[in-house]
Structure formats: structure tokens, C-alpha cells
Amino acid sequence: MSADKKLGSAVYWVNRFKRSAVNLQPGEFCIASKGGMIVTVLGSCISVCLHDPELKLGGMNHFMLPHMAGKELLDVAGPGNKSSLLNGASHLSRYGDVAMERLIGKMVVMGCQKDRLVAKVFGGASISTSKVDVGRKNISFITEYLKNEGIPCLAQDVGGVFPRKIYFLAAENEVYVSKPL
């Protein structure tokens, strides 16, 4: 398994599946092959599980917001330093546009072909009483992003009011979702 910037990622045993798993935190992604499992917990955040069926390689990310506003982008990059955006701090992967580019880019480096990738999308719950429905914005973003990139979405479990725990068996492209009753 390969994880980007293990900020808080931990490997632990999942008895239910009799295998170890990488636990993703917001802003992280992981790519795994045979036997690899990736797990995360989502509220309004989104996780996209990408899979290359020929290589039997899968990856998952966890992002919090669709994209940064222009001023935030400049503040993070610093004056005249836009090149640091894709090579800089991992907290940028908390934004969907960066998280997707990093996940796809890493999968391509590992031999995947973008035109073979398929997606499964999870999260985007409305879990707060805020006037801004972050979950809905995340769902809209990822739906449009996948459409624009020509990546078919084979399955999704998005929206609602409950958080989810996602278990992704990367090589098999199987996803199990656990929600409170």
C-alpha cells in the first residue's frame, strides 16, 4: 500500500474482514493492490474510490471542501509562488480539486491508464444546521468533476443526514458502507 503524506494514517486490523487496513484522515489518499483495504469515516466530506480493472489497483481519497477560493489559494502559495500548490502542504488535499488530481496522478504514475479508471463516490451528508450545505456542494463538485474527466461513476452513496464508514477493498473494487441505524 502507498499513502500520500501519512499525516494521521494508521494501519490497523479489521476483524470483520480479517485483514489490515489503512485509516484515511481528511486530506489524505492511499493506493492499494491485492489484499489492501482502505477505511475512512465521512460526514459532509467525500471519498472517491478509483479503480483500474486491468491492473486491479485501487485508490481512495478523503476531501472536505470542493475547492479553495482564489484568495485562499494565493495565501497558501505565497506571493508569486503558484508552483507550490501541487508540491506543497498536504492540507491542500483537503480540497476536492487538488485531492482528485493527486489521486489520479499517483495512479497514473503507478501504471494505471486514466481512460480505464472507474469511480465509486461516498459521503456528502448534511450533518450540521449551518445555512451552507457543504455536503451538497461536495456532491455537486464531484459529480461534475467525474463527468468532465470522463470517469464513469459505477456506484454512489451520497447525501442524507448520517455519517458513513467506508471500507474499500482496492484490488476487488468492493466497497462496504456502514451507517448508524
Catalytic residues: 45
Q: Is 18 helix (H, G, I), strand (E, B) or coil?
A: coil
Q: What are phi and psi of 92, to 5 degrees?
A: -65, -25
Sheet holding 118-123: strands in order across? 2-3, 29-32, 57-61, 46-52, 118-123, 153-158
Give alpha helix (H) positions in 45-110: 70-77, 84-87, 96-109
Q: 36 and 59 in contact (C-beta within 8 Å)? A: no
Q: Is 135 helix (H, G, I), strand (E, B) or coil?
A: helix
